[in-house]
Copies of this chain bind each other. A is one copy, B any other.
Amino acid sequence: MPALTDRDLTIVAPSLPPGLDTPAVVVDLDRVEANLAGMQRRLDERGVALRPHTKTHKSVRFAALQRDAGAVGLTVAVLSEAQLFADAGFDDVFVAYPVWAGGPKAARLRGLHERIRLTVGVDSVEGAVALGRALEGADRPLRVLVEIDSGELRTGVAPDGALPVAQAAADAGLDVAGVFTHGGHSYRGPQRVADAAADETDTLHRSVAALRGAGFAVDTVSAGSTPTALRSATGPVTEERPGTYIFGDRQQTNLGGADPASIALAVATTVVSTASGARQCVIDAGAKSLAKDRPGWLDGHGVIPGLPGAVITSVYDHHGIVALPDGVPVPDVGEQFAVVPNHVCPVVNLSDDLIITRDGGQVDVWPVDGRGLRA
């Protein structure tokens, strides 16, 4: 049967309050505060600013905790998230995405720019031109960072492509404030993390040199990803944009980006069936709770510390199939377990609210204010 990693087996899930109506998402606020303080302290020691990516929590209250812990501003993926946080009083937001402003987003972008210190990503001449048109006549230029590809092969230009985009952006009346990258190839496996961090600093260094050589001031050099955040916080880098570090998840634990005892979020689930007769049980957390993110280097759809070695072999919309190893008794229908998800971001995005706990007891329920925002 499929197996968990050695690292999986060390994960300690948050405690579940008794009697939950499942599936439900539980957050250990003590662990959240420790995670936020830990990342902030370690980046402070390096003299690098923290601009956390809020797509992990999509919640005003968690963003406020990050600000209170010392974050210089927020990172978001989409304009609607920037609008959410602007409405909540956050005045410095970076949209780490090559925003296409040629359509209906032009007016939304303009409106946001007039309210807060907005920065957006750009990785093409056409994108820069569209941003410039959207901001024509504004009282001050829009800040942009040129996105650099550090090896993920997703968005972003190669370092030697930074200058043409920066020049197009300047010609379009934009304020080219620097560059950013996301070493997302760190997620391809634990053996890739160190190289991805080195790629981030190397490609940023080369891009900054090209832009400074052409006369651009470059005040911001931004790197990203939770696994690489502490490794790439060096050299030219002025800020880091980790997101997942607030909660941690199974993937981060295996990548070395989260301590196994620091995981602050779990999905509470109930066993609903053991009828198949196989050494398995069925839980009420399926793809609509756990999502389907599963990197090829991990077996199963999450970890259940209360059933050591059990593998969630498949998830349907409302069912999770849990294969049980020899020696683990088949649980009773009605038993509850905490599942630590593979990837926490889509799990939060599927949830209207989060059950907040301290010392294993429920203390509050917080809304996921930005749940579903994507445009």
Contacts and interface: CB of A to CB of B under 8 A. Distances in A.
A375 B288 CA distance: 10
- Specify how many copies of this chain sit in the oligomer: 2
Interface string A35-55: 000000000000000000001
A137 interface: no
B126 A334 contact: yes
A143 to B, nearest CB: 19
A123 B332 CA distance: 13
Q: Is the interface of A mostly helix, strand, loop or mixed?
A: loop
Given A97-B272, A288-B374, A21 B103 contact: yes
Interface stretch (A208-216, A229-237, A249-257, A311-319): A311-319
Query: Number of contact residues on A: which range applies?
Result: 35 or more
B155 A272 contact: yes
A22 B374 CA distance: 8
A301 to B, nearest CB: 11
A271 B123 CA distance: 12
Contacts of A24: 375
Interface in A134-168: 147, 149, 153-158, 161
Nearest to A76: B318
Given A77-B318, A291-B287, A375 B23 contact: yes
A102 interface: yes
A352 to B, nearest CB: 5
A282 B276 CA distance: 43
Interface string A116-128: 0000000110110
A255 to B, nearest CB: 16
Contact of A349 (B124, B157, B288, B375): B288
Given A97-B318, A98-B272, A273-B155, A287 B278 contact: no
A124 B273 contact: yes
Given A103-B270, A351-B372, A372-B351, A317 B334 contact: no
Contact of A126 (B98, B332, B371): B332
A372 to B, nearest CB: 5
B154 A333 contact: no
Nearest to A320: B154
Contacts of A288: 346, 349, 372, 374
A80 to B, nearest CB: 9
Given A123-B273, A332-B126, A103 B153 contact: no
Contacts of A318: 55, 77-78, 97, 374
Contact of A276 (B154, B270, B374): B154
Interface in A325-354: 332-334, 345-346, 349-352
Given A154-B321, A157-B275, 8 more contacts: A19-B103, A98-B333, A130-B334, A154-B282, A155-B276, A184-B316, A317-B349, A349-B350
Interface of A: 19-24, 55, 77-78, 97-100, 102-105, 108, 123-124, 126-127, 130, 147, 149, 153-158, 161, 184, 270-278, 280, 282, 284, 287-289, 291-293, 316-319, 321, 332-334, 345-346, 349-352, 371-372, 374-375
